């Protein structure tokens, strides 16, 4: 008798997942250009998933409670999941077959193994650390990361890369700290960035506000891992890198709007927003009025 092999799944090949996830994905990030992090939000109905072996580390977050049958050690077991439950399926490890009994919504967060290594390479030898599979775990932080990303990406995917990458780095470090095969202590650094490195980073950010900046790109200027850099940057500036970039973009937008030489669409593009509607929402959040109302005062 031929033994069925686990289905290899890869977040960069979503078309190949249609047999097990037949309904179209509702919300997802691009499969390229995001430095090894992928987000997807699904709603599926009574679907079945065979044994799988993912190429990425997968964190699955329930949107609501549900019932499922799971094949563990060749035996089917009935399991109940609460809305706050998460499951973690490490890369290159076999995940059990599952039969879902109802329609459900769930968030999938996928990290390339290399992404996890980059996130904290000063703190731990991530190449020699194995993530432990979790079929059911109560983890408020992972749930919070997933739901926050969903809210952000629903507003604008194209303008949310830096925010998403920052959240993904937090997830990577959390997986290493809580779910690795050996107890890890991620080093905490204090004192902020050296002044010369902070100056280099701030100059780079302000010179490239129109670009789709990433945390990996900015941290590379300081020659640090994203986790290490983000921690020290916040100590130096009192805000996270993605918040600082947004603040700089809004400050520049105010200057350009006051000059009245460019259209609001042109201004939004020059400060790094590809979506004018998203630019207007962020501008109003920071300034208290819309770009149109701000310009009308000049």
Overall number of domains in the chain: 2
Cβ atoms 64, 105 nearer than 8 A: yes
**161 and 229 together in one domain:** no
pLDDT digits (tens, 9 = 90+) for 259-281: 989 999 999 999 999 989 999 99
d(Cα 205, Cα 33) in Å, to the nearest integer?
A: 19
Bridge partners for 60 per DSSP? 87, 108
In the listed set 145, 178, 211, which residue is the last one of a domain according to the structure?
178
Give residue 185's pLDDT.
65
**162 and 196 together in one domain:** no
**216 and 163 together in one domain:** no
Give residue 1's pLDDT.
44
**60 and 150 together in one domain:** yes
Mean residue pLDDT across the chain:
91
Give residue 138's pLDDT.
93
**54 and 169 together in one domain:** yes
Q: Which two tokens stand for residue 290?
A: 């819309």
pLDDT for residue 126 is more than 80 = no
Give residue 32's pLDDT.
82
Give residue 60's pLDDT.
96
pLDDT digits (tens, 9 = 90+) for 185-242: 666 677 899 999 999 999 999 999 999 999 999 999 999 989 899 999 999 999 999 9
In the listed set 178, 207, 225, which residue is the last one of a domain according to the structure?
178
Query: Of how many residues is the chain composed?
Result: 298
User: CA angle 255-257-262, nearest 5°?
Assistant: 120
At residue 129 the predicted structure's pLDDT band, cuts being 50, 70 and 90, is confident
Residue showing tokens 């499969």: 31
Range of the domain at 164: 7-178
Residue 35 inside a domain? The answer is yes
Residue 289 inside a domain? The answer is yes
In the listed set 154, 178, 202, which residue is the last one of a domain according to the structure?
178
């Amino acid at each position: 008798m031929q033994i069925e092999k686990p289905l290899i799944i890869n977040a960069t090949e979503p078309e190949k997942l249609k047999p097990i996830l037949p309904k179209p994905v509702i919300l997802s990030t691009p499969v390229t250009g995001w430095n090894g992090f992928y987000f997807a939000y699904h709603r599926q109905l009574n679907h079945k998933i065979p044994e799988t072996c993912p190429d990425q580390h997968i964190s699955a977050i329930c949107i609501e409670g549900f019932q499922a049958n799971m094949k563990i050690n060749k035996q089917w077991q009935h399991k109940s999941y609460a809305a706050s439950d998460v499951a973690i399926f490490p890369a290159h490890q076999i995940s059990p077959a599952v039969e879902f009994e109802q329609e459900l919504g769930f968030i999938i967060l996928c990290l390339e193994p290399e992404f996890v290594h980059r996130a904290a390479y000063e703190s731990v030898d991530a190449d020699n650390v194995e993530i432990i599979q979790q079929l059911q775990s109560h983890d408020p932080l992972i749930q919070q990361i997933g739901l926050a990303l969903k809210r952000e990406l629903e507003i604008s995917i194209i303008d949310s890369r830096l925010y998403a990458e920052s959240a993904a780095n937090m997830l990577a470090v959390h997986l290493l700290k809580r779910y690795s095969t050996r107890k890890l202590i991620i080093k905490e650094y204090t004192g902020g960035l050296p002044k010369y490195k902070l100056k280099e980073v701030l100059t780079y950010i302000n010179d490239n506000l129109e670009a789709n900046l990433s945390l990996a790109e900015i941290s590379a200027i300081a020659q640090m891992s994203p986790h290490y850099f983000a921690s020290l940057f916040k100590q130096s500036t009192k805000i996270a890198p993605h918040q600082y970039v947004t603040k700089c973009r809004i400050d520049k937008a105010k200057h350009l709007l006051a000059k009245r030489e460019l259209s609001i669409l042109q201004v939004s593009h020059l400060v790094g927003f590809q979506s004018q509607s998203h630019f207007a929402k962020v501008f109003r959040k920071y300034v208290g009025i819309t770009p149109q109302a701000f310009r009308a005062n000049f």
